Structure 1
Amino acid sequence: MFRQIFQYVNYSFKRKMIVVFSTVFALLLIFTFWILYLVVSWEFTDRIINDMQMILDTARDNIDYYFNDMKAPLVTIGRSPTVADLVSMKEEETVFSERLSKERELTDLMNNFNSFKTYMGDLIVLGENGYMKNLISGLNTDFVLSSKEWAIECHDFSERGIHYFMPHEVDYYKRNPYPSAVSAIFPIYKGHVAEGYIMCDISAQRIDAILDNFDFADGTKVYLMDQNGQKIYLHGESTMDNTLSAYMTETISCGAKGSFQGGDELITYTTLQSNGWKIISISPYSQILSSVRPMLQICMIAVMVSLILSVIVSVALVRYIEKPLDQLVSRIGQVESNDFRPVFEKGQQYHEVAVIRNRFEQMVSSMNELINKNYLLELRRKEMEYDNLSNQINPHFLYNVLQLIQTEAILAENEQIEEIVVSLSYLMRYALDNRDKLVRLRQEYEYTKYFLELYHKRYEKMFIYRINIQEELMEKTVLKFILQPLVENCIKHGFRDKKAGGLIEITAQEIEDVVHITVYDNGCGMSHGKLQDIRTHMEQPAVGSSVGLANTNQRIKLQYGEGYGLMIHSEEGKFTRITCTFPSEDWGK
């Protein structure tokens, strides 16, 4: 299926250009709209987070107002000497008139605060001596604060300062004035001993009313958490709630305010300055992103419309571009019909197409001229003459120059230069003599010896060489240049990391009418994998005219048959041994 689609698309320039242009344009549109959607979503989410944070900060300020305002009656009454006397008096030691006077003073003080702070549910003064006083009638006479679970769980009333308690059940009245309350308690000291405490209640419904005034997103839950993260109150419920995970509680406890993502929910929080409690809102992300979904739908519709428009524009553009190309194809058809008359059209729409058309017409004109003048045959003949001349190499000039250098070396009594020139002269004569492809082994021996001698003079300390060929083998016929690639392989590859101590050893022997010439070096050797690669490469046809192991192996096989050739043995870090085999019978020259 995919192959058929590929063939259909690549059938013509027109189809391919339409598909490519439309695809690229569609991808750009999708990428652009997707980035736009992400940016809008991010900005919208960020705005919601900021709005939620602002709502919580406003709610915090309103709740803080009540908690801070509660401090005045608590501290004033709690530090009053009269109140301290009342909660510390022993009943048997009390003068009735004095006690009555102090109670009137306390009553006036409590009524004054109650008249200005209407939000207070009740003010209760409790003494360790059993003294009890409050504003609302119906308080249970056996009410003991320390017996309440919500009061003793986290606080020690002997500690100075105001203690705040999360919304709790109001069960210490004969007839409860409100179902739940937030309490603030201030210890009353006589000297350095806590003799009692004053408690101020605010109806939890008043706190709920503050939070109800704000427009939270649908599905949002609002919590109150104490400064220790122990008590968690869900807004609108009358009981404690434990739905916050340990991760959320720990994260919220570490900061004054902020927001973070917890699973599929957005958590925003702030801290009351009065008592360190946290106001927490948890909103589902799906609800937050619901307002962005229409934007995604609009983007998808825009992409589809743009894609359709891109296809229409592509078709029109391709037709506009294709017109001069169709004219060029028509002109090529005329040339195929042997119509070589030049036709130069003017006013081409595109420079590139005009250049192609003009060059094509020039080519047609040239072809017509060459055919008419029969120039092609003449050109072919001259090229052949040029090739013959360029292939003729006359080495006499080089030989004369080398002979001149040798003469100068003899006159200067420089034996080393003379030896180098003699070696080089032999190498050049041997290499430039193309008359025979088969030579005597003695000639190969001489050529290889001079070749090694030149390398040895250049790298005197790198290696030494030994050649051990039996005299009776010297007259055997062998392919020309059969040893030089093997020796050169030792120097270039075997000794590439060697500065001294190298050894090249050439030996030859005849075994069962087969001549074995072995070239050994104690160089770096090669790994098993590398050796297998070279063996595989040698069995493949040699590329070009280069003389190497693969070429040498192929030459031997072509000359003598598949039973002969090169064999390589090597061990990494130790040696490489290349053995060349060919029949010992005299094949003639």
Structure 2
Amino acid sequence: MSSRLTVINFLTNLAFSKDYIANIIVEPLGSKDPISHKSLVRSEFRNITEEIPDYYEHHPKWWSFVHRQWTFEGMRKVITLARPIRSTDKYKPIGNLQINLDQGVIANQFRQAVLEKTGFVLLLDENNRIIAGPPDMETNLTLADYYPSIEEFEGLSGNMDYGEGGNKKTILYKKMSSVNWKLVGIIPSEEYRSQNQYFIKLTAVAVTVAILLAIILVLFLIQKITNPLSVLTKFLKNSSPEEPLPALPVKTIDEVGQLIISYNRLSSRIVKLTDEVKLNESLKKEADMHALQVQINPHFLYNTLSSIHWLALMNQDVKIAEMVGSLSDFLRFSLNNGQEYCTIQQEIMHVRHYVNIQTIRYPEKFSFEVHVEETLHQHTMLKLLLQPLVENSMLHGILSRDGMGTITIQGRHGSEGIHFVVEDDGIGMTPDRLKWLQDQLVENPLQYEKGQTPGGSYGLRNVHKRLLLHYGKDAGLRVDSTEGAGTRVMFTIPDLTDIQQTEISSKGDDDLEGTDR
């Protein structure tokens, strides 16, 4: 008796834990009465398993169709799950267990599942009989009773269309392999299509948003990586060979940051090496100049030329004497112990000595004229500016033309300083040659080296460079030329103060007097 109560208590706890369980019955084999959590089963109890031959031998479990079963609440529609109870020692059937599920509770769950506006869900057994569905559809009737000529359900899941026109419906199904039942959804095709369109639109919007977010993220990452590289590239493109590479700020420590750090180190190294090269070149030039000055003994050179001068006079060779005398004066002024400035009068005399020598070499080839305001004679200027320009006019303008030519030096005082013009009536320059020369004077004149300039413009570039170094960026040469008519070279220097003129002039005179023969 105690074991029977134990079973009843267990069944009671199990039944009350689930609202969809109508009752649980244990039916022993033989003549013993069934056991239920509702005490003894009344005589109206229906043994559902009697309808299936050889049940215990061939079915480990079985689901019934919807039928009526007595409970203490009265006759209820139930769905029975039955399975045999076997002994633990010999595994022989000793009874069966029946769990009756309340069809009404299950049907209410399915009625709450609504597809769109008028769609609904059905639960079918293996024979397509209705287990649960809308209230207007009777249980145990097949789906074909409501939808004649409906196609068979193929596969584990799928969909099909039923009907035509406005009554056309879309039927969705999925088979439950554990119980061989089917979940079936029936929805008007128009509502189904609108639902599909909604999901398609929703999916399209979601995909579009995802793509936009991905693009934004990619652009952000690309910008984060490429911006520093773009800045670095811009600095490198805009950098000038004559200027040091600017240092860039390091904002990150990733690969790009390491690249910028390496770039800054390289920039610092280049600046250091450039300074070292400039210093070495300067020291080398100073050493070469010092060595040249040591090798040239001005007094020995002047005395030798003076001796040649007097020997020529003794032999009554006036032209040789005049040529040697002019050469001696020319060298005396050029060397002049490294003095950089002189008076305008001294500069003109230096040019005359050069012209005298060239007149003897090229007789009746050119004439030389000087038109410099007398008030400017004692003003100071950087020496060796006019002679290279006169030499350039002679070699590249006058000597290449037919007949006599004229070289003229003009000097006048203006509001911006002292203006000089060296003009010739030689062959002039072609427009292309003139443009090239003007570009050469503008582009990096201070970086000019002798070996870089073809066509004999070294004298012009050297004068141009010295003017810029001593008088500033506005004091360079200006060249104008007409092919077949001649060339004009112009420059302007500032008018130095009287104190500067006196100091430089005095020092220049002392240097010249100290080198007398």
Same-fold status (TM-score > 0.5): no
Q: Smaller-chain TM-score range?
A: 0.3 to 0.5
Considering Cα pairs closer than 8 Å and 6+ residues apart, tell me whether 1 or 2 has the greater RCO. 1
TM-score w.r.t. the length of structure 1 is 0.33
TM-score w.r.t. the length of structure 2 is 0.38
Instruction: Select the structure of larger CA radius of gyration.
Output: 2
